[in-house]
Amino acid sequence: MSLRKNWDLTTRSYGPTRPFDGAQAPTIPEALKTIAQAANSTVSEFPQIDPDICIVNYYTNSGKLGLHQDKDESKSSINQGLPFISISIGDTAEFMFGDTRDKGKATKIDLESGDVLILGGESRLLFHGISHVKTNTTPTWLKEATGLRPGRINLTFRQVLASY
Ligand SMILES: O=C(O)CCC(=O)C(=O)O
Ligand SMILES: [Fe+2]
């Protein structure tokens, strides 16, 4: 699902409403936006964004995401190197990134629950993806406090500067 704007995975495009029922996307909770912007401000090399979309992805324990570049935002957003800010919640994921779509050459790091990753400036168009989600790695306190089901939630905040 996405917040504030709609992201249509099928057409890889941003829009004001969900095409299948015309509904407006819910707003981005201020508390989440504050966390993303605070993280953004710790990296002085990257411009500060005012997020106009938050995409929420849920990965089951067999979830993956192939190596890709995020380049569906407006030219202006990409050319300015506006960062996207990613927050991971739940099970740990192995995140891959590199200069090409070659999985064998990608660097792999674990993204644990609570980790924040920011790609911006020169790293904005890095290839990246999720090779796998590690079963049963959600912190116990989080599972107990929220009843979170197995898997991983990822929130990405962007300023797509859409022109529609
Ligand atoms: O789940 C992640 O950490 C990456 C998500 C991603 O690359 C995307 O939404 O474009
Ligand atoms: Fe991405």
Q: What mean pLDDT comes out for the span 44-65?
A: 96
Banded pLDDT at 163 (limits 50, 70, 90): low
Nearest by Cα to 34 from 112, 116, 146, 89: 116
pLDDT at 97: 98
ipTM over cut 0.90: yes
Residue 57, beta-bridge partner list: 154
Min mean pLDDT across 15-24, 38-47, 76-85, 100-109 is at 15-24
CA 66 to chain centre: 14
Query: Rounded CA gap, 161 and 72, in Å?
Result: 11
Q: How many Å apart are CA 63 and CA 131, to the nearest integer?
A: 8
Question: Is it the case that residue 164 has pLDDT exceeding 80?
Answer: no
Burial class (CB in 10 A: 0-12, 13-18, 19+), 55: buried
* Distance in angstroms (rounded) separating the CA atoms of residues 66 and 64: 7
pLDDT value of position 20: 86
pLDDT of 34 over the 70 cut = yes
Ligand nearest to the CA of 68: 2
Mutational pocket test of ligand 1: of 8, 68, 86, 113, the residue with most ligand atoms within 8 Å of the beta carbon = 86
CATH superfamily of 2-158: Alpha-ketoglutarate-dependent dioxygenase AlkB-like (2.60.120.590)
